[in-house]
Amino acid sequence: MKKEILIATSNPGKAREMISILECDAGSDVEFILPEDIGIKDAPVEEGSDYLSIASHKAIFYGEKSGLVSIADDSGLEVFAFGGYPGIKSARIASPEPTDKSKYEFLLELMKDIPNEKRGAQFVCAACAYLPERAETVSAIGEWKGGILFSPRGEGGFGYDPVFFIPEIGKTAAELTTSEKNRISHRGKAFRMLWEKIKKEL
């Protein structure tokens, strides 16, 4: 019988990415399921002052509801010229509409007068697993450095991917294949480290 692990998010883009990363290491004896698969329709109010505390809150919320090992993350885009903004507010940036396109266009408008050499940024991801049998959390953090373009490029990914440029490969995150992105992204780094920490517990 497969071990069920809950992916603690209601964001479909994030869920797909988390599962694609974890499946590479988890093997065939693990099945990743979503809250909706087991009838969980409510979501936690995000609480916490940093990525890790927010991710922990989400993992515990879903883990206590389901009784399953629950894996969550919280991530954000930090623009160095803005002192790390939007950071933990990346998903709730004050854009006109709640769409990915509206959010990155709002950010580009804020940055329109910032020259190329000062458009450095990084993605940060805190990944957290709640182990209900022990009532404990395990976590890991990954970072991905790059910069913000003046206009979007690419059709893949989600969120701010079309404007996040990786200089060493000359592409935006939205121009990468899924496997390319998972290999070098903040989320890929965080979840591979997390899996190494929890696989013995499973």
* pLDDT of 73 above 90: yes
Mean pLDDT, range 150-157, rounded to an integer: 96
Do residues 138 and 156 lie in contact, with contact meaning Cβ atoms separated by under 8 Å?
Answer: no
Question: Got the DSSP string for 117-170?
Answer: GG-EEEEEEEEEEEETTTTEEEEEEEEEEEEE-SS---SSSSTTGGGEEETTTT
Residue 74 bears catalytic tag = yes
The pLDDT score that the predictor gives to residue 123 is 98
* pLDDT of 48 above 80: yes
Do residues 102 and 96 lie in contact, with contact meaning Cβ atoms separated by under 8 Å?
Answer: yes
Please give the model's pTM, rounded to 2 decimal places.
Answer: 0.93
The pLDDT score that the predictor gives to residue 26 is 84
The pLDDT score that the predictor gives to residue 45 is 84
Query: Annotated catalytic residue: which of 74, 100, 113, 161?
Result: 74
The mean predicted confidence, pLDDT, of the chain is 95
Residue 4's pLDDT band (boundaries 50, 70, 90)?
A: very high
Task: Please say whether the structural domain 3-201 has been given the CATH code 3.90.950.10.
Answer: yes
| Domain limits, the chain | 3-201
Sole residue written with tokens 């990415």: 17
Residue 81's pLDDT band (boundaries 50, 70, 90)?
A: very high
Do residues 112 and 166 lie in contact, with contact meaning Cβ atoms separated by under 8 Å?
Answer: no
Through-space distance between the first and last CA atoms of the chain, rounded to whole angstroms:
13
Mean pLDDT, range 175-199, rounded to an integer: 95
The pLDDT score that the predictor gives to residue 68 is 96
Query: CA-CA distance, 194 to 46, in Å (whole number)?
Result: 21
